[in-house]
């Protein structure tokens, strides 16, 4: 005859879930913020490439090509706020387009690790002038 000993495990699952939940939330928030920041970095890269390409094609010292290229950069950044665009004068045969933006971090977990509610992203593209 075997004796069965009943163990009371009614709260074990809740305790284990409470221990694992912060790690799961941190992982999920990290994935969300990484995807958001990566999307914005790709947007800045494409905008700087667009501005540099516009500048090398439309370069003419007699017209205001820099403002047109910078406005082209700003127009190609849909959804990115607090961005600054700069197109350099040609040094030799190259034009450089630079973009900087302060991108907000979406979740509170990641912002506590980073230590800020925004992250500054940079993009730069250099192209040769077409003559």
* 7 within domain boundaries: no
Band of residue 1 on the pLDDT scale cut at 50, 70, 90: low
pLDDT, one tens digit per residue, over 63-109 is 888 888 888 888 888 878 888 888 888 777 888 999 999 999 998 88
The three-state (H, E, C) secondary structure of the chain, written as one string: CCCCCCCCCCCHHHHHHHHHHHHHHHHHHHHHHHHHHHHHHHHHHHHHHHHHHHHHHCCCCCCCHHHHHHHHHHHHCCCCCCEEEEECCCECCEEEEEEEEEEECCCHHHHHHHCCCEEEEEEEEEEECCC
pLDDT in tens, 105-121: 998 888 888 888 999 99
Question: pLDDT value at position 32?
Answer: 94
Residue 45 is assigned to a structural domain of this protein: yes
How many domains does the structure of the chain reveal? Answer: 1
Looking at the domain assignment, is residue 5 inside a domain? no
Answer yes or no: is 49 within a domain: yes
What pLDDT does 93 receive? 85
- Is 4 a member of any domain? no
71, part of any domain: yes
In a domain, residue 105? The reply is yes
Its domain, for residue 121, covers: 12-128
**More confidently predicted of 47 and 2:** 47
Cα 11 from Cα 34, distance rounded (Å): 35
């Amino acid at each position: 005859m075997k004796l069965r000993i009943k163990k009371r495990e009614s709260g074990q699952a809740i305790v284990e879930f409470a221990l694992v939940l912060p790690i799961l939330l941190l992982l999920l928030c990290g994935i969300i913020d990484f995807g958001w920041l990566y999307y914005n970095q790709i947007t800045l890269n494409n905008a700087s490439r667009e501005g540099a390409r516009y500048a090398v094609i439309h370069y003419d010292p007699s017209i205001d090509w820099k403002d047109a290229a910078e406005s082209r950069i700003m127009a190609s950044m849909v959804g990115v706020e607090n961005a600054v665009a700069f197109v350099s004068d040609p040094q030799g045969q190259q034009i450089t387009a630079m973009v900087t933006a302060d991108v907000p971090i979406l979740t509170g977990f990641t912002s506590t690790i980073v230590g800020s509610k925004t992250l500054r992203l940079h993009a730069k593209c250099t192209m040769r002038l077409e003559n």
